[in-house]
Structure 1
Amino acid sequence: MSLAAWLTFLVAAVLISVSPGAGAINTMSNGMRYGVRRSLPAIMGLQLGFGIQILLVGAGLGAIIASSNIALSVIKWLGVAYLIWLGISKWREPVMESMDDDRQPVSGHKRFWNAVFVNLTNPKATVFLVALFPQFLVADAPHGPQLITMGVTLILVDCLVMLGYALLASQLFRFMTTARRQRQMNRVFGGLFVTAAVALASFKRA
């Protein structure tokens, strides 16, 4: 993977990671209730679930990448359409009254495996990976090193973003959950989904 392609992939990875989903909600909930340090088991669990998804998607795409430009194009534009749909949905998403709860503290071990399950069963993560990988894989180069590079990049970016969410939730939860701020955040993140869609639509594989 060239430096230019990796930088483009990095931008897409950042935009996708900062757009809230099930993993971000899980992290913010933990950050609010336990603080940043005690949120680490859940964040690591999210990355394990994400890593398994990366392995499964990467293994399944190999044959398609090598043999069918039409399939690649279909996957790409389905991914673009899905990102735009997510952006519109996020923009119009109603605000929540509260993300707090009164449950008893949960052990770090249990929160780790809960987080693994959250990302492992997250269809958005699967669709994102299926939409992303074909645009950046070079068909006539070994797929393994490319997939490892992209997988490591995705996990590191997501880990840093989740740490940021945990820190933000632990410090600014009341600010974040007012109805006005939620609407603003929904519109910002909706715009980020559409920005990611535009980036994917305009990028051409080597």
Structure 2
Amino acid sequence: MQLDTWLLFAGAAIALAMAPGPNNLLAMFNGARYGVSSAAVGGIGRIVAFALMIVVTAAGLGVVLAASETAFLVIKWGGAVYLVWLGLKSWFAKVNDSDETTGPAELMVNPGPFNLAKTEFLTAIGNPKAILIFTAFFPQFLDPAVAYGPQFTVMGVTFIAMETSVLLAYGLLGGQVKGLIKSARHMRMLNRVSGTLLVGAGVLLALTDRSRTTA
């Protein structure tokens, strides 16, 4: 892949990764509730999901999935229901009301690295627009005169690197909010904002069609 082509791809990839979608919201709110390290660990689930999608796209299966109305609808509705469930779970999350609490770590129990990563994975894998983006976005930068495999590998690694940088940035943003949470009331407000945005993301996903491929 030529350097100028790679630079163009990298710029477009970082722009796509920065879009405030459900996974970025999760990273930000995980950072606010549990800290930047927890947001980073949770983000591993997202990275694994996107890596799988890139492999599927490289293998040619992404084109099949993108063309299948049934597959698109199954993934879309599964993802939409999961986001709404996450939103409601966040809205009604248990918060410690004890007067002895002094910060987020004491206000809510950290679900642990596996559960954080699992949530991010299921959120990412349940978004059919990601497959559509990979099938429509990656091929635009392929040089037909050069071997296909190495080019796709470079683009896949680059996209994952950009996605990792962005999830850390959102986690750091959430970490800044973490210092402002001093009471159960503050945590409930955060949970309700998080819940509302996730439910909204689920509704928007349910309303999307295959002609809209922005993440």
* Same fold (TM > 0.5): yes
Letter in 1 for 2:122: F
Q: How does 1:80-159 map to 2 (within 5 A)?
A: 102-103=93-94, 104-159=109-164
Partner in structure 2 of residue 42 of structure 1: 42
Structure 2 distance, partners of 1:31, 1:100, is 17
Partner in structure 1 of residue 8 of structure 2: 8
Deviation at 1:31, TM superposition (A): 0.8
Q: How many percent of aligned residue pairs carry the same amino acid? A: 33
Partner in structure 1 of residue 170 of structure 2: 165
Letter in 2 for 1:48: V
Contact 1:47 1:158 in 2 (8 A): yes
Deviation at 1:10, TM superposition (A): 0.5
Q: For 1:160, what is the secondary structure of its paired residue? A: helix
Deviation at 1:62, TM superposition (A): 9.7
Unaligned runs of 5+ in 1: 65-74, 76-98, 180-206
Unaligned runs of 5+ in 2: 68-89, 95-108, 181-189, 194-215
Q: How does 1:195-206 map to 2 (within 5 A)?
A: none
TM-score normalised by structure 1 residue count: 0.62
TM-score normalised by structure 2 residue count: 0.60
Larger radius of gyration: 2
Question: Could you say if the C-alpha distance between residues 62 and 139 of structure 1 is closer, same or farther in structure 2, counting changes exceeding 3 Å?
Answer: farther
Structure 2 distance, partners of 1:108, 1:63, is 33
| 1:20-71 CA distance string (max 9 Å, x none) | 112101111211111101222211111001100111112117999xxxxxxx
Partner in structure 1 of residue 20 of structure 2: 20
Contact 2:41 2:116 in 1 (8 A): yes
Letter in 1 for 2:121: V
Deviation at 1:117, TM superposition (A): 1.5
Partner in structure 1 of residue 73 of structure 2: none
Partner in structure 1 of residue 80 of structure 2: none
